[in-house]
Structure 1
């Protein structure tokens, strides 16, 4: 069974409460439940972490190296400027998929840049909370394409 670490970045815990016109009405707990249901269907074990702290997110990434087969991360605002998170992603040998609830390329100019994505296997953006579901399916496809 694949093991995947899900990392939610800053303010994701307020999803469903904040900027509903951007992030929708599905709340944090519902997003996590969607992730767990899809992971179960795909025979993937998930651990879900959330932090508003850059250093803690970096520690999550570092700890994943020998404990997980992949990381799905929504770096949130750190996407646009955290070279430290980018370096942490580059430092691990497991695939990392970046996700975003909103389409960052359809938003403010500063949000169109992701420094973290350059070190990720890929990015899924703009599908609301289903971005996480699509990322889990991408992990499964990666597993299937390399034979487990």
Structure 2
């Protein structure tokens, strides 16, 4: 069984492609999943891909990711509001890359604060769905570095 990477998506990402396409693009969540699956396959990784509109369910998904290679997390609005999501990341010691489709720093001021960034390995924003592939590549690279050591 290959090492598994989790890609977790928060509220309203199920509306990708139709929700504010000038901000989030025209790609759908199915397009994101296909891109993530292809990136994981290139690295020999299994993929768990999930989306939820519920904060508690996102916390459960994070807990279930314990022991995985890592998590690509687009917590969407929960990035700016959820201590519970940040606590879940810390509680299970996850290797997380925070991803945002848009450049949150070029948007409203409330989007400039993240509860996740302080507990994440890194942050990628502003590259659309390409950010997910970049995050997967980064996590796969860190896994390869650990295997060599």
Residue aligning to 2:45: 44
Q: Secondary structure at the match of 2:110?
A: helix
CA distance in 2, matches of 1:32, 1:65: 21
CA distance in 2, matches of 1:104, 1:36: 25
TM-score of the superposed pair, with normalisation by structure 2: 0.95
CA distance in 1, matches of 2:28, 2:126: 16
Residue aligning to 2:127: 127
Structure 2: 5+ residue stretches without partners: none
Structure 1 runs, 4 residues or longer, greater than 6 Å off: none
Write out per-residue CA displacement over residues 87-106 of structure 1, whole angstroms, 9 at most, x where no aligned residue.
Answer: 11111123011111111111
Structure 1: 5+ residue stretches without partners: none
Residue aligning to 1:104: 104
Paired residues, number:
147
Write out per-residue CA displacement over residues 85-124 of structure 1, whole angstroms, 9 at most, x where no aligned residue.
Answer: 0111111123011111111111111001111111111111
CA distance in 1, matches of 2:103, 2:59: 24
CA distance in 2, matches of 1:42, 1:84: 31
Q: Structure 2 matches for 1:40-119, cutoff 5 A?
A: 40-66=41-67, 68-119=68-119
TM-score of the superposed pair, with normalisation by structure 1: 0.95
Shift in Å, 1:69: 1.8
Computed over aligned residues only, the root mean square deviation of the Cα atoms, in angstroms, reads 1.1
Q: Is the contact made by 2:79 and 2:114 (CA closer than 8 Å) also made in structure 1?
A: yes
Residue aligning to 1:6: 7
